[in-house]
Structure 1
Amino acid sequence: LTGLGLMAIPGVGPVVAAGWLAATAVGAVGGAVVGGAAGGIIGAMTESGVPENDAHVYAEGVRRGGTMVTARVEDDLVPDAEEILKQYNSVDIARRRNEYEAGGWTGFDPTADVYTGDDLEGARGRRNV
């Protein structure tokens, strides 16, 4: 657990993070506007090359109690990394976006209340991961 840090991300709440995304998010949380999106987790992801519309879905997933795992790997190792991650209940981002939108969601809102207790259980119960 050495190197892990706890930070508060607006709209998400406390997050344990490490590595390159954590370092980028810390800068974004400090108020930077990155990639056309307000700072925080969206800014960190868009700065790292994640399309903004996907970054909103990932951020909303974390807000709803999900876990996001990222890895920065050499180009020739991307297929191996993707294969490893697919073995562990990875989420189809397009399907998850459709599920959120079917419920009226239009995008990640950093000012929204953080999911807690019953909200988290309800969100997890509705998901097919």
Structure 2
Amino acid sequence: LGIMAIPGVGPVVAAGWLAATAVGAVGGAVVGGAAGGAAGGIVGALTESGVPERDAHVYAEGVRRGGSLVTAKVDDRLTGEAERILRGERAANLDERRSAYEASGWTGFDATAEPYDDIEAERDRVRRTTPL
């Protein structure tokens, strides 16, 4: 368990395999210059772990906007059960979230954008959960 600063997200508490991957990705961004910068941070950590880059941008944007990202690395035999647990009633629908972001002009995660503060995060949550 540790605290780290991820570009475009800010300080986060992280543990496990994704945290270790993120530390490596952020380190690569610092050491590797421009090439590493493109793959650094949370998007780099997710893509390095096998998440398609297009999806990694949506996950990273959700975290920047105040959301949480929960991941689990499980034995193949337990994949179905893990997915059932993680897709609980409060799980975000990735395609719906991407569409909502794109409707507001979003084109991809920007590591230089400021993370949402508590008020902006709450407004975003209310926008997503209030029927039109």
TM-score computed with the length of structure 2 as normaliser? 0.88
Q: Is it true that 1:105 corresponds to 2:106 in the alignment?
A: yes
Q: Percent identity?
A: 66
Distance between the aligned counterparts of 2:38 and 2:97, measured in 1? 20
Q: CA deviation at 1:123?
A: 1.1
Match of 2:16 in 1: 19
Q: CA deviation at 1:51?
A: 0.1
Higher helix share: 2
Q: CA deviation at 1:99?
A: 0.5
Q: Which runs of 5+ in 1 are unaligned?
A: none
**Does the CA-based 8 Å contact 2:58-2:109 persist in structure 1?**
yes
Runs (4+) of structure 1 moved beyond 2 Å? none
TM-score computed with the length of structure 1 as normaliser? 0.90
Equivalence map 1:2-41=2 (5 Å): 4-30=1-27, 31=29, 37-41=38-42
Match of 1:125 in 2: 126
Name the Cα RMSD after superposition: 1.8
Distance between the aligned counterparts of 2:120 and 2:73, measured in 1? 32
Q: CA deviation at 1:88?
A: 4.4
Q: Which runs of 5+ in 2 are unaligned?
A: none
The number of residue pairs the alignment matches comes to 125
